[in-house]
Amino acid sequence: MEDMHLIDPLFEPAELKPSRDGFASASVEIGEKDQNVWVLTADVSGSTRANFFERKFPERFVQVGVAEQNMAGVAAGIASEGKTAFVSAYGVFSPGRNWDQIRVSICYNDVPVIFHGSHTGITVGPDGASHQALEDIAITRPIPNMQVLAPADAEEVRKAFWAAYESKRPTYIRTSREKMPVFTTENTPFTLGKANVYREGNDVAIFAIGPLVYESLKAARELEKENIFCAVIDMHTIKPIDKEAIIHWAEKTGLLVSIEDHQINGGLGSAIAEVLAENLPTPLKRHGMLDVFGESGTASDLLKKYSLDAEGIKKTIKEALPMKKR
Amino acid sequence: MYKKITSIKKLKLMANTIRQDVLKMLYEAKSGHSAGSVSLADVFTAMYFNVLRHDPDNSNWEGRDRLILSNGHVCPVMYSAMANVGYFPTEELLTLRKPGSRLQGHPHKGTLPGIENSSGPLGQGLSIAVGMAIVAKRAGKHHRIYAILSDGEHQEGQTWEAILLAAKFRLGNLTAILDRNNIQIDGFTEEILPLEPLAEKFRAFGWHVIEVNGHDISKIISACEETKAVYEKPTMIIAHTIPGKGVPFMEYLTEWHGKPPAKEHLEEALKYLEEERKLIEEE
């Protein structure tokens, strides 16, 4: 296995950070390097971390007010002028509220607008279901020209924005609000469209995204004690999907489990199922939000309630084992 | 750079050519929007043949004025103006809406040189224009951004979001031209969802407002000139138009908003436009 340069020891993380912080560092780094990078926000500059860029480069920052549709259009106009525009808002509102603008003004025009959808997933916590973006992958994934990323921690988010910037393509990158372990490092590889394998195992291959990658690593460690060996794959890019990795692990293990902080319909699990069905039909257990809205609570309470913490993932894997292709 | 036409007579003849083109294109395409496309011939003639600083041979020239069409469904009139001014061969006009054509049913940026934005879903164009105007203003560039809007799309919330933001940034380099033809697909705007008083609304939102007869080419040109002397506000030119103007049997009728002419309509319309052409030439 390639050295992924994760923190060592893996399960005593030195640092907790919300993954949205990765946008703060990336936008400022990229803004320093390239004068043609702009940032827009819709009245959420602090909570989405757009304010870091704003303080440094006010002349390339646009505050549009509570108007996500206009924000997407203005970003398209800015990007049409040879700029790269980062659009930073809550995932529920952007892409939730400006889908048509993303489809036509950005993706059909094929201009480099990169969306930072913060506050995604159930870990948004106390704000409740209205603010928990759980359908954002499903609505962005089918739009032509669009790339969709769901990085695992703040450091990977930083790299994801760099990769999206360098690609010059319309991109949606989802991040989360809650402080989570930063377990990848500066040296952890990141290639847009190429999954990262963090643990090998021959019994089950777990494909996870966002904060659930780390939870899956914890679950895999526990399962090992019961002689169940799981591979854990960080599927940071959902589109373009890494078909090769999916087929490789389907061949190797005969059982895949997808773990996502998103509805199971239309998200990571669906994307994997599409690849399997057309290439190598293999049992797949999709786990995530099971077609229900979330609710208020702390992030850890909610992860527990919806079986998305290490314990819940462990249980899911055990339930899935009988599905395994022999 | 394109050398503008200043003779009103020549401009009127061009508008007449464009009306004829539009009718032939829509007839060939067997679908499309007649009334708005025909009635905007005067506005598009004024823009492409006089107002815009542009270069059809170098459509990406950085110093060009940008023209954003928001209500993409009237694109036949823009295609005809663009072909006649030299962006692409006029022979290509009759490929409108056909497979493989660069003339998509609603404009697509990237397929045809000179198209600044893809459009179709209403209410998106002004936001794009605002983005371009912010970039130009902050960079101290002197090109202008023009946006052509329909009246019906002022029922979309996004249009008003863009109107607010343009005022916030005092975009004196932005001129929107509103085609006030009073019709939309389901009927008259004032019956479907009333928009009036429009001019007062724009003024209250911090815009400079000019109202013109949208069929008087010289007035459209002078309104665009006036906007250049308004530095701290975006301008809304309300161009009052008659839907179907120039084709008597289409005028004022909402039924012509979203359908193409049949063969007998085309013949009748072309005959009328040829007679009108003779009258212009005698002027």
Dihedral sign, CA of B262, B267, B270, B271? Answer: negative
Pick from A38, A40, A78, A105 the residue to mutate for testing the B interface (most B CBs within 10 Å): A105
Strands (E), A42-106: 61-63, 84-90
Give Cα A133 distance to the centre of its chain: 11
Whether B104 has its CB under 8 Å from any CB of chain A: the answer is no
Q: What is the pLDDT of residue A290?
A: 98
Q: Do A80 and B165 touch (CB under 8 A)?
A: no
Q: How far is B161 from chain A (nearest CA, A)?
A: 6
Q: Do A78 and B124 touch (CB under 8 A)?
A: no
- Under-70 pLDDT residues of chain A: 326
Task: Give the start-to-end residue ranges of the domains of chain B.
Answer: 8-282
Give Cα A35 distance to the centre of its chain: 27
DSSP structural state of residue B112: B
Buried b (16+ CB within 10 A) or exposed e, B177-209: bbbbbbbbeeeebeeeeebeebbebbeebebbb
- Residues of A classed as catalytic: 68
Q: Which chain A residues are closer than 8 Å to B124 by Cβ?
A: 73, 100-101, 104-105
Interface of A with B (CB under 8 A): 59-60, 62, 64-65, 67, 69-70, 72-81, 83, 85, 100-101, 104-105, 108-110
What is the CATH code for A196-318?
A: 3.40.50.920
Q: What is the pLDDT of residue A326?
A: 67
Q: What is the pLDDT of residue A164?
A: 98
Q: What is the pLDDT of residue A13?
A: 74
How many CB pairs lie under 8 A apart between chains A and B?
98
Q: Do A74 and B119 touch (CB under 8 A)?
A: no
Which residue type occupies B68?
I
Q: Do A81 and B132 touch (CB under 8 A)?
A: yes
Q: How far is B103 from chain A (nearest CA, A)?
A: 15
Q: How far is B133 from chain A (nearest CA, A)?
A: 8
Task: Look at strands A16-18 and A179-181 and give their pairing.
Answer: antiparallel
Tell the residue number behind the tokens 């080419």, with chain if given.
Answer: B217
Q: How far is A58 from chain B (nearest CA, A)?
A: 11
Tell the residue number behind the tokens 């290509």, with chain if given.
Answer: B92
Whether B110 has its CB under 8 Å from any CB of chain A: the answer is yes
CA distance B201 to B205: 6
Q: Do A77 and B162 touch (CB under 8 A)?
A: no
Q: What is the pLDDT of residue B1?
A: 82
Q: Do B127 and A77 touch (CB under 8 A)?
A: yes
CA distance A172 to A30: 17
Q: Do B134 and A62 touch (CB under 8 A)?
A: yes
Q: What is the pLDDT of residue A12?
A: 85
Buried b (16+ CB within 10 A) or exposed e, B244-274: bbbbeebeeebebbbbbbeeebbebbbeebe
Instruction: State the Cα angle at A22 between A18 and A23, rounded to 5°.
Output: 115
Q: Do B118 and A72 touch (CB under 8 A)?
A: no
Secondary structure of residue B128 in the 3-state scheme: helix
Blockwise average pLDDT, block size 10, chain B, 283 residues: 94 98 96 92 98 97 98 97 98 96 96 95 97 98 98 98 98 98 94 98 98 98 97 97 94 89 96 97 94
DSSP structural state of residue A111: -
Q: Quote ipTM for the complex.
A: 0.96
Q: Which residues of B, range 162-181, sit inside 8 Å of A by Cβ?
A: 162, 164-165, 168
Q: Which chain B residues are closer than 8 Å to A61 by Cβ?
A: none
State the first-to-last Cα distance of chain A, in angstroms, to the nearest integer: 25
B10, burial (CB in 10 Å: exposed 0-12, middle 13-18, buried 19+):
middle
What is the CATH code for A16-181?
A: 3.40.50.970
Q: How far is A151 from chain B (nearest CA, A)?
A: 29
> What is the torsion angle, in degrees rounded to the nearest 10, for the CA atoms of residue A247, residue A203, residue A191 and residue A236?
100
Q: Which chain A residues are closer than 8 Å to B168 by Cβ?
A: 65
Query: What's this model's pTM, rounded to 2 decimal places?
Result: 0.97
Q: Which residues contact A198 (CB under 8 A, 6 or more apart)?
A: A4, A6, A213, A217, A232, A233, A234
Residue ranges matching CATH 3.40.50.970 in chain A = 16-181
The CATH topology of domain B8-282 is: Rossmann fold (3.40.50)
Q: Do B109 and A81 touch (CB under 8 A)?
A: no
Residue B5 to residues A105, A158, A243, B218, B277, Cα–Cα distance (Å): 32, 53, 57, 11, 18
Dihedral sign, CA of B112, B118, B120, B125? Answer: negative
Q: Which residues contact A33 (CB under 8 A, 6 or more apart)?
A: none
